[in-house]
Amino acid sequence: MPTTKKTAPATSLTVPIRNLNAETVGEANLPEEIFGVPFRRHIVWEVVRAIRAREHAGTHKTKVRSEVSGTGKKPFKQKHTGRARQGGGRPPIHRHGGTVHGPVVRSYDLKVNVATKKAALRCVLSEKLRENQLFLLESLDLPSHKTKDLAATMAKLGVTGKALLLDRRENEKLAKAARNNPYLLVEDALGLDAYAALEAKTVILTEKALKTVTEVLG
């Protein structure tokens, strides 16, 4: 008996545009080459690994035998003492001596090319859209800079957990309203990376932020 191959339903890339009162004011068609790509786990892992590696300060340092304080004089003569020969007071076998193969100041930066970074961000944004965790707002121009007002707005929109708010850099009211809330992170759309989008439960873009992201990733 012939079997029919099941095809996956087409995913709509049309999302509603809402205002701060959670009212739908329009629709936006998202470009499929940015918001409709499959999730490529290895590329995302590679970029996230590089971003997290940059967070290491790399300032760890221990002193070797040439750097510790102490004498270089032999503590006793070389032979005929019945003891193991010693060359000074700073070798690693002595208390307060130098450290062997200890950590040194270094950079943890990992090289990832720009094309890979953009591909990882496309993967994460597409996955957020498929999971209905990507919202589009008309704007994030708040009437005040109070944290409780922004929290009330997020409650109206049904946003729970950690949220990433993407808008223009000069939106000072939004930055002030979100800085005391550990669950809200405000980023300029130009500085968006895959790790910030992946770590947040919900990604919220304004129309201006969407235009910026589309121009960068398009």
Give domain limits for the chain: 17-39+112-217
- Of the chain, the percentage scoring pLDDT greater than 70 comes to 94
pLDDT of residue 122: 96
Looking at domain 17-39+112-217, its CATH class is alpha beta
This prediction has a pTM of 0.80
3: pLDDT strictly greater than 60: no
1: pLDDT strictly greater than 50: no
Identify each DSSP E strand in the chain by its residue range. Answer: 14-18, 24-29, 134-137, 163-167, 184-188, 202-206
44: pLDDT strictly greater than 90: yes
pLDDT digits (tens, 9 = 90+) for 13-31: 899 999 999 999 999 999 9
